[in-house]
Structure 1
C-alpha cells in the first residue's frame, strides 16, 4: 500500500471514532516542495455520513487537487515576471483586508442597525421615486375557481362568483374542497406568466385578448370549468403598484441605512484613531 492510501485509512479510522485531537507535531499527508498538507486540513472535507470507500475517494481527490494547485502556484512564482507577482501580492493583501473589514462591519451592522421599516417610510420613498418603479411585465388582480364538469352545483357557484357579496364569498369558501384549484384573494397582483400557468386556457397566445379590466370569463378544458373575474390590470411600463414593490422598497431603504451606517462607522474609527494617536497624517 502506498503512503497516501495508508494515510487515508488512518484518517478514516480517526474520523469515524471522532478522535481528532490537537497534536504537537501535526501529521502530514502530502508535501509539495516546502508546503505540507496536514491531516487536520482534511477533516472538514469528509461529510458527516460516508462509507470507507467514499472517504478514500474524497481524500485522494483532495490531495491530488491540493498538490496540483500548489505545483502550479510554485511554477507561477518562478516563471511569472516580478512586476506581475508584485501586482498579485498587492491584490491578495487588498482582498484579505476587504474580507476582514467587510466581515467586521457586517457583525456591527447586524447588532446595531435598525431593521424596522415603517409603512410611512415605504410609502414616502415610493411616492418620491415612482419613476424608478416601472413594470417590465403585465400585472393582474383576479379571482378564479376551477371545478370539475361533473359538479352538480355549477349554476349556484356561477351566481355566487358573479355576485360576490359576503354570503356568496362564505358559500364559495365552504365549497372550496370540491374545486380542482382556486384563488379568491383578488387583492393580490399576479404576473401574466403566473396566470397562464394557473389557468391553462389563458395561454400566452390568447391572454392579451381575453384580459380586460372588470371582465368576467368562463373557460373550459378537458377537466372542468374556470370562472374568472378580472378586477384590475397594470401594463408594461406603467408604474408598479405599491403593494407589489413593498419588499423591493424595504430592501432599498435597508441598503441605504447600511451604507450610511458603514460611512459613519468608518468616520468614527478614523476620528478615534486620530484622537488616540493611533493614526497620524504627515
Structure 2
C-alpha cells in the first residue's frame, strides 16, 4: 500500500514537471476533502527548484496532508458554528482598511525615514534614560582558549595569556592557531552568560567570581581544557553599558522617528482635507 502511495506521488510530481514545462490547462484533482478538491496546479509553487526524488515526494505528501487537515477543521468549524456573515464581512473590511493603511505607512517610511543615527544621538538618549537600562542578568567580556587534551606547553600558554605585552599576545595567537580549535584573545564585546555557555561551560564559574577580573579560570570538560579570563563584568541591577545598548537605542530612536513621521503625515493630510472642504459634520 505504501509503495502504491509513493508511486502515485511520484506520478503526480512527474505530471507537475510536465505542466510547468508545458503551459497546459489540464486541471487534475489530486486530493479531496468533503466537497473541496486540491488540484495539480496548486502544487506548482510547493516544491522548490532543484528539489528531486524523495525530498520532492516528502514535500508534496506533507502539503497534501496539511491541506486535508485544514479542510477537516474548517468543515468542523462551519458545521458547529452559526456563521454571522454580516459580522465576518465587517471584520474583513476593518482588516482590509488596516492592511492598506499599514502598506501606505510602510511605503512612507521607506521613502522618507532618516535612518542615520549618530553616536551623539545615541549617547544623548542613553544619558537621558539611564533608568531604562538596568541589567536583568549579568553580562561579561571574556577571553578564552579551548585546548584539546594533551596540548603541549600549557604552563607557557597560561603565562602568555596573563601577559599584556603585545609580543606575548602575538606568540600566544600563533600557538592558538596551531593547537586551539576555538579561541578569542582580544574580544571586547559584552555577552549574557547564556551566550557564553554556547561556547564553553561558563556555568562552572560561580557568579560570585565574576568580579575576579583578569584572573585565569581553568575548566576541564569533555576532554578539553578551557582557559578563561573575565575582562570585565556587570552584575544584575547595575547600569547596562552604552556599548551593550547601542543597537537597542538606535532601534528605539528609529521607532520614535517612524511614529513622528506617521503622526506628521496624518496631521498634514487631515489639514489638507479640511482645507479642500472634504470634511463635513452634520447636526444630529
TM-score (norm 2): 0.73
Query: Following superposition of structure 1 onto structure 2, how do residues 1-282 of structure 1 map, counting pairs within 5 Å?
Result: 12=16, 15-19=19-23, 42=42, 46-48=46-48, 49=51, 79-80=82-83, 84-177=84-177, 178-200=179-201, 202-204=202-204, 206-221=205-220, 223-282=223-282
Aligned to 2:5: none
How many angstroms apart in 1 are the aligned matches of 2:156 and 2:59? Answer: 65
Secondary structure in structure 2 of the residue aligned to 1:99: helix
Q: For residues 271 and 189 of structure 1, do their structure 2 counterparts lie closer, same or farther at Cα, with a shift above 3 Å needed?
A: same
Number of equivalent positions: 265
Q: Which runs of 4+ in 1 moved over 4 A?
A: 8-11, 26-30, 35-41, 49-77
Aligned CA RMSD, in angstroms, stands at: 3.9
* Superposition deviation, residue 121 in structure 1: 1.0
Secondary structure in structure 2 of the residue aligned to 1:237: coil
How many angstroms apart in 2 are the aligned matches of 1:157 and 1:101? Answer: 62
Given that 1:160 and 1:169 are in contact with CA atoms closer than 8 Å, whether structure 2 keeps it comes out as: yes
Q: For residues 41 and 121 of structure 1, do their structure 2 counterparts lie closer, same or farther at Cα, with a shift above 3 Å needed?
A: farther
Q: For residues 226 and 37 of structure 1, do their structure 2 counterparts lie closer, same or farther at Cα, with a shift above 3 Å needed?
A: closer
How many angstroms apart in 2 are the aligned matches of 1:62 and 1:224? Answer: 46
Given that 2:162 and 2:214 are in contact with CA atoms closer than 8 Å, whether structure 1 keeps it comes out as: no
Gaps of 5+ in 1: none
Given that 1:12 and 1:55 are in contact with CA atoms closer than 8 Å, whether structure 2 keeps it comes out as: no
C-alpha offsets along residues 98-130 of structure 1, whole Å, 9 cap, x if unaligned?
011101211221122111111111111111111
